[in-house]
A and B are shown apart, each in its own frame.
Chain A
């Protein structure tokens, strides 16, 4: 039983960042802009967030410094995404190229700045954020150990983001207009919706969420940041596609992939798994192979936003 609790707790650490980043990607793509720069934005977000935490940890203790760190990550994520937004929306550039540029830029600048101000490229921090047990809720049988022990506030943040995203996308005016821009920007334009503005907002949201997602990924899983998020940004894209751009399915996909990743990284801590002679590399590959297989079977009837990836040009009718 304790193995189950352990696995679920570990899964949270891997699923929540995927969830947050995939939701960010959803806002961007639903508005019509493809954003494969999620990986790069995660790196920048994590870098600035960890740097902030590492620098101010002594002065500001405990969870508050984490919360501030999250804000920092969000803001830097937004700034980086603006570059992508500008290229894709104003310059009508190829969105995959712009995204790739950011992905290459991010680790380089993270290492460069780290070496500049810290002389080494790794940024360490002290992980004082783990919550052993949430008062009251942590004592509930079964649910307690599953969800309210050995956890971080970032986990709950992830769920909040999920719920808010769902409401925003389907129940608000903003969401309706955003989706229109991703499906049929000419229709939106003809009723007076500012397609450029909506797309900017979509990309900015994806930047904020990806930045936060980067920080959320590093905190529970390491003690330092080394200019990489191990391909999580790309895995989040797979979650987005597997989730058919809908929050309800994205969360399922995020947990599925997160579970795979959790098994891959923690199987050595699970006794019965250790006795099975599967090399660690196989576990590492499982999420990617699983993604390919899933995509092979689900891509035929893709429900991607119709206008995504196509720059909107007012002149074309």
Chain B
């Protein structure tokens, strides 16, 4: 028992525990809402939420399909968090990446099969990186708060992409972007055979493997390389990083660019999944970008954790579809996720609480990520030229 207690008191288990608590509370709130709305159906509906994702093979495939883009946006937000930035711009980066991929997919049919989708993915990463780099540059060189800049870029991206679609790859009947050529779609790698029910194949495809692979790459970058050492140092303490000779401006821009590339790639992986989905030309921000936030928070900004939390959120979403059979609006799932985010902000308080039982520090830091990821609208750039 002593051993168990010791394990439970470590940093990592306290973290995981606090994430679990946030999830449980979110689910509980969802259940209560269901009960209030229609108590007779509530239990069945809740059950559907909990089990929908594994109810059959097709559903499981759909979980993988939905998980893929939000793992990517989760990595985007999480990576930025580790380096002290709050990337609320994943939505804009996501959609410009998606657009770039679709344009390549529709227009560059001269590219041979395997190359086509690879180039599309690269185009998406490039577009996303650019979209992320802009707020990064504004922050690094003009001290513009990255949260506001990213929010502006979200809207600019949305409007711009909608406009460009109508000019370049428009399907006016469906008010969406056109279908991409088959060679641009991600290879299925047999996943559609495995994850199907009878004749109904899920949209599962190799995208999930790509997402997991990228997560591993990000993990290696953060933990094993000098580049990661520098980025984390900037995230924890920008002043000390500068003192140590690290070019903190370059770090900020690189971080945001990488984060943008992740989100952009997420957009590509979603729209090149071969599920027939196109970008709807409506003035609505891409939700996948914002869903990256709970994924990152629950995954504790750790790439491996993000894989799991991405799967979890996707799982809840699939459950949400099944729940509609019970006559509840699917917004319940969004509510659950919002509540989870809210309570995950407390998560570190739980951690502090658990650890203070032993009188260990006991002072929980306020941020889910490094301390700097608060909201540095102000900056200590006042007189005295304190660098």
Number of interface residues of B (CB under 8 A): 54
Does B358 sit within 8 A of A, measured CB to CB?
Answer: no
Closest Cβ–Cβ distance, residue B196 to chain A (whole Å)? 31
A91 touches B363 (CB 8 A): no
Q: Mark A274-293, 1 if CB is under 8 A from B, else 0.
A: 00000101101100110110
Give me 18 A-to-B residue pairs in the complex whose CB atoms sit less than 8 angstroms apart, sorted by A's number. A87-B346, A95-B375, A97-B341, A97-B345, A100-B88, A104-B290, A105-B335, A105-B342, A115-B329, A281-B163, A289-B152, A292-B152, A295-B149, A296-B138, A297-B142, A304-B378, A308-B375, A309-B374
Residue among B86, B152, B283 with max Cβ neighbours from chain A (10 Å)? B152
Does A96 sit within 8 A of B, measured CB to CB?
Answer: yes
Q: Mark B323-360, 1 if CB is under 8 A from A, else 0.
A: 00000010110110111011011101100000000000
* Bound complex: CA A110 to CA B367 (Å): 29
Identify which of B138, B144, B155 contacts A288 (C-beta below 8 A).
B155
The B153-211 residues at the A interface (CB cut-off 8 A) are 153, 155-156, 159-160, 162-163
Interface residues of B (CB under 8 A from A): 33, 37, 86, 88, 138, 142-145, 147-149, 151-153, 155-156, 159-160, 162-163, 283, 285, 290, 293, 297, 329, 331-332, 334-335, 337-339, 341-342, 344-346, 348-349, 363-364, 366-368, 373-379, 381
CB neighbours (8 Å) of A97 from chain B are 293, 297, 341-342, 344-345, 368
Q: Mark A2-23, 1 if CB is under 8 A from B, else 0.
A: 0000000000000000000000
CB neighbours (8 Å) of A105 from chain B are 334-335, 338-339, 342
Does A271 sit within 8 A of B, measured CB to CB?
Answer: no
With contacts A108-B335, A241-B148 known, is A284 near B378, CB below 8 A? no
With contacts A91-B346, A96-B147 known, is A101 near B366, CB below 8 A? no
Which secondary structure characterizes the binding site on chain B? helix
* Bound complex: CA A304 to CA B375 (Å): 11
A112 touches B331 (CB 8 A): yes
CB neighbours (8 Å) of B293 from chain A are 97, 100
B339 touches A292 (CB 8 A): no
Residue among B138, B335, B348, B378 with max Cβ neighbours from chain A (10 Å)? B378
- Total A-B pairs, Cβ < 8 A: 169
Closest Cβ–Cβ distance, residue A25 to chain B (whole Å)? 11
CB neighbours (8 Å) of B345 from chain A are 87, 91, 93-94, 97-98, 101
Closest Cβ–Cβ distance, residue A302 to chain B (whole Å)? 6
Closest Cβ–Cβ distance, residue A163 to chain B (whole Å)? 26
Identify which of B88, B144, B297, B329 contacts A116 (C-beta below 8 A).
B329
Identify which of A36, A94, A306 contacts B367 (C-beta below 8 A).
A94
Does A249 sit within 8 A of B, measured CB to CB?
Answer: no
* Bound complex: CA A276 to CA B311 (Å): 49
* Bound complex: CA A291 to CA B148 (Å): 9
With contacts A91-B346, A101-B345 known, is A241 near B159, CB below 8 A? no
CB neighbours (8 Å) of B381 from chain A are 300-302
Which secondary structure characterizes the binding site on chain A? helix
CB neighbours (8 Å) of B283 from chain A are 230, 284
* Bound complex: CA A92 to CA B88 (Å): 21
Closest Cβ–Cβ distance, residue B157 to chain A (whole Å)? 10
* Bound complex: CA A308 to CA B380 (Å): 12
CB neighbours (8 Å) of B342 from chain A are 83, 87, 97-98, 101-102, 105
Does A49 sit within 8 A of B, measured CB to CB?
Answer: no
B366 touches A112 (CB 8 A): no
Residue among B290, B344, B346 with max Cβ neighbours from chain A (10 Å)? B346
Identify which of A112, A301, A304, A309 contacts B335 (C-beta below 8 A).
A112
B366 touches A92 (CB 8 A): yes
Does A210 sit within 8 A of B, measured CB to CB?
Answer: no
* Bound complex: CA A310 to CA B367 (Å): 10
